[in-house]
Structure 1
Amino acid sequence: MALYMLYEAASGYSLFLAHGLDEIGQNTEAVRGSVSDMNRFGKVVQLVAFHPFESALDALNQCNSVSEGVMTDELRNFLELNLPKVKEGKKPKFSLGVSDHKIGSHISEVTKIPCQSNEFVLELLRGVRLHFDRFIKDLKPGDLEKAQLGLGHSYSRAKVKFNVNRVDNMVIQAISLLDTLDKDVNSFSMRFREWYSWHFPELVKIVNDNYLFAKVAKFIEDKSKLSEDKLPELTEVLGDEDKAKEVIEAAKASMGQDLNPVDMINIQMFAQRVMELAEYRKNIHEYLIEKMNGIAPNLAALIGEIVGARLISHAGSLTNLAKCPSSTLQILGAEKALFRALKTRGNTPKYGLIFHSSFIGRASARNKGRMARYLANKCSIATRIDCFAENGTNVFGEKLREQVEERLDFYDKGVAPRKNIDVMKSAMETAI
């Protein structure tokens, strides 16, 4: 049986005929050894036809179709024109080798041409790709490289541009940065509190909040200069007049040591850095909330922006999360505990990242597992709506949240919840 091979180059479609296969045999290793030698490979593979693309845009469209496993009309006409004609009712005496089984399946389904995509065919196509510029005589030196480079850039840009879920990368980066900032702000705040406490140790017990502590320390600077005249300004910083008076009284009887001007300047600079970092962390948090409400509004409405963003980040993308079954979503983030339980034949974890949801915390101890399972089910629904729905709305997320609230009441008080079909019908009416 004759073997034809379809090769999709950056400059056009080409069809090759592999003949004299007995010289190298149907052996992948033998083919691999003969590919590098053009004199030997050229006796086995012969160019049958070449159809150049009309433009760079046409090449991009053809490339996108092939990558999705779809045969275009142009490719179909090219194959029907150059492959041997098959009489109706008779079996073809040839087969077509393709690089991807998906495009091969579509060609076979539409044209009834038998296609194959195995290691033997892939090795032959590798040889074709290696010596392609020598098969096509009209190509000038450098033309093929330019076409490949241009098509590669266009294809990559198109994939990024038309990826409807591309913006979930922003959520993944934002939640990772937020976690890093939390650790950094806490570390720097503890370092600053310890540093400034050498000068004013009593302030730590009066002001507990890290950001406020840095702000007050920046305002006070040298405790010996703090007097009753600064009470209004200190009250404005603290937001509490009683605390401001307490700080002033503590400064008068403070046991802390005095610092030289150079040390004080460094402490004040560090305080400014801690404040800026805390403010930046606040801005990133607001940015994340805004992005989540635009990318996954239903998931954000159901379980909250932060937990939803952690789920998306852990899954890798919104699409990956939407493809996860609810049982997988339930234990996302608890993989170590799961594999440890499977290895030791112990109890498997009941929840992963969704444990941080307020619903799990509000459930009683004996209902936490049931609540986690139910919540994961609703999160899975919300994620799929966010990923595949055309219009962005948080109506479904709000309705699903109501269902979870009703389920909590059912566990605690025995109040029967509404049926899911009724809730979804109500959500559909509201969304329309």
Structure 2
Amino acid sequence: MVTVNYLLYESAVGFAVFEVTHQADAVGLELPEVKDAMKSLDKFGKMVQLRSFNPWNSAAHGLEAINLISEGIMPDHLKNTLELNLPKTSGKKSKIVLGVVDKRLAGEISTSFPGVQCESADTSEVVAALLRGIRVFASKLLKGLQEGDINRAQLGLGHAYSRAKVKFSVHKNDNHIIQGIATLDALDKGINQGAMRVREWYGWHFPELIRIISDNGTYAKMVLAVGDKKTLTDDCVDDLANALNQDQDKAEAIIQAAKVSMGQDISPIDLHMIKDLASNVAKMADYRRILSESLDKKMGDVAPNLQCILGTPVAARLISHAGSLTNLAKYPASTVQILGAEKALFRALKTKGATPKYGLLYQSTFIGRAGPKVKGCISRYLANKCSIASRIDNFTENPTKHFGEVMREQLEQRLEWYATGAKPMKNSEAMDKAVAAILAEGGSDLIDTEMIEPHAAASPVKEKKEKKKDKKEKKDKKKRKSLGDVEMVDASEDGEHKKKKKRKSIAA
């Protein structure tokens, strides 16, 4: 059993350190006497004793500390409190045990204070019970507080913390993208099902209309415009053309098909029911078009580079599947590649089969245009570019689509390289091209100098490498020349030897 020596209480008014005067174990906490003592201030006050209470300097100070703790980071305010109130220890056997609420904060404190062993409320029942008692009697145990101070501080800090968590920019917010693409997918499903019912139902009356009009939304509008085919005359051409965006040819074709149609007659009641269904389908189709245009504009503001590479639907589905653009930017390229194929991945790992090569990225045109043998390679390359683009979009205050355009050009060249062997553009050349395009538009404030200077500083290194290469080439040239001289000498010596031999043979 681990003996808890001290307790850290993180409240809305500040940090408090309590010393445990009466020890208890998990078994003892279940006794009725101990449970009654935990409910009484007189008895519980003898179990813990306030060692130090360090309140916030201001509400902003408290919000900053709570935000750091929520990320598992120990603020300086807490570090100073622990340094002043925890006794100094030496050696592993003389460690003191500190009980805390947050498990991540416990690890951070143990790292910063080697002589302190932290026990969190998640792993220790004793720590959880003692901290629960302190929370109940906090207004009495903490000195210098009046009645209701803790409740008011909790309310104010809770509101400030919640506002900070949900705060977003109106122009750069991926929450609307996630909801928009989900609504778009639901609309597609509803429009397809409704249009199928309209086609089958109205097709009994006017089957020839399906061959002339293929779009679901336009077909529903034409059902409303035509109604009973017997009422169509040559004078209705203008009305049908208005419903077809001034397409006179199709309007005339519909009238001619209605005159020779083989469909059966329809009752007014059935026609009324079909028109109501067609009206709903047409309204959903119009709303889908408006939502799609809005989603395109929103993606252009939030993730223009990712949109330029993948297109709006696929890029929006990636963000939605990841949960946010920030989450997508944190993923490595290998995760982005198979995002959306988790079931296939876990099934392959379980059966020790081949893992999937792509997930949502399969909907991209680059995968469809690639050959069967290089689909996996182009998927990996596409995932790399999407990972870079998402990070640029997420961590740039005013992202532009120039990086996405050059990366899309790289993808096109990579496809051509697989097909013809043409040399693609290098990454350094692509980034230089994007930076030059941004600077040409007067966007010097969008480019961080720290991003350009290392690249500019690489030129002396490049010159040094070129000089080194020239020296090596000169050295190799001298070496080849010296080897050539030796060969020439050997050849001349062989020639003289042959001449002497020939003279001897003639003399003989």
- Above 0.5 in TM-score? yes
Aligned match of 1:59: 62
Name the SS for the 1:48 alignment partner. Answer: strand
- AA paired with 2:179? Q
1:295, CA displacement in angstroms?
Answer: 1.7
CA distance in 2, matches of 1:346, 1:79: 53
- AA paired with 1:373? R
Aligned match of 1:116: 118
Aligned match of 1:132: 138
1:275, CA displacement in angstroms?
Answer: 0.9
CA, structure 1 residues 134+424, in 2 after alignment: closer, same or farther (shift >3 Å)?
A: same
Name the SS for the 1:16 alignment partner. Answer: strand
Aligned match of 1:411: 418
**Per-residue deviation, residues 29-56 of structure 1 (Å, max 9, x unmatched):** 5457656732554332112233444554
- AA paired with 2:433? S
1:117, CA displacement in angstroms?
Answer: 3.6
1:147, CA displacement in angstroms?
Answer: 3.2
Aligned match of 2:379: 372
Matched ranges for 1:125-274 at <5 A:
125-136=131-142, 143-161=149-167, 167-238=173-244, 239-274=246-281
Aligned match of 2:37: 37
Bigger CA radius of gyration: 2
5+ long unaligned stretches in structure 2: 439-446, 448-508
Matched ranges for 1:278-289 at <5 A:
278-289=285-296
CA distance in 2, matches of 1:354, 1:193: 33
Deviates more, 1:311-320 or 1:420-429: 420-429
**Per-residue deviation, residues 153-189 of structure 1 (Å, max 9, x unmatched):** 2211111116999822221111111111001000011
Q: Percent identity?
A: 50
1:70, CA displacement in angstroms?
Answer: 4.5
CA contact (8 A) 1:297 1:392 kept: yes
CA, structure 1 residues 367+264, in 2 after alignment: closer, same or farther (shift >3 Å)?
A: same
TM-score by length of 1: 0.86
- AA paired with 1:192? V
* Match 2:337 to one of 330, 333, 347: 330
TM-score by length of 2: 0.74
CA, structure 1 residues 70+329, in 2 after alignment: closer, same or farther (shift >3 Å)?
A: closer
Aligned match of 1:14: 16
Runs of 4+ with deviation above 6 angstroms: 108-113, 163-166
CA contact (8 A) 1:86 1:92 kept: no
CA distance in 2, matches of 1:150, 1:206: 64
CA distance in 2, matches of 1:109, 1:188: 61
CA, structure 1 residues 115+399, in 2 after alignment: closer, same or farther (shift >3 Å)?
A: farther
* Match 1:383 to one of 390, 393, 396: 390
CA distance in 2, matches of 1:78, 1:198: 82
Aligned match of 1:348: 355
CA contact (8 A) 1:62 1:72 kept: yes
CA contact (8 A) 1:160 1:166 kept: no
CA, structure 1 residues 35+175, in 2 after alignment: closer, same or farther (shift >3 Å)?
A: farther
CA contact (8 A) 1:319 1:387 kept: yes
Higher relative contact order at CA 8 Å, sep ≥6: structure 1 or structure 2? 1
Aligned match of 2:451: none
In the alignment of these two chains, the number of paired residues is 426
CA distance in 2, matches of 1:422, 1:412: 22
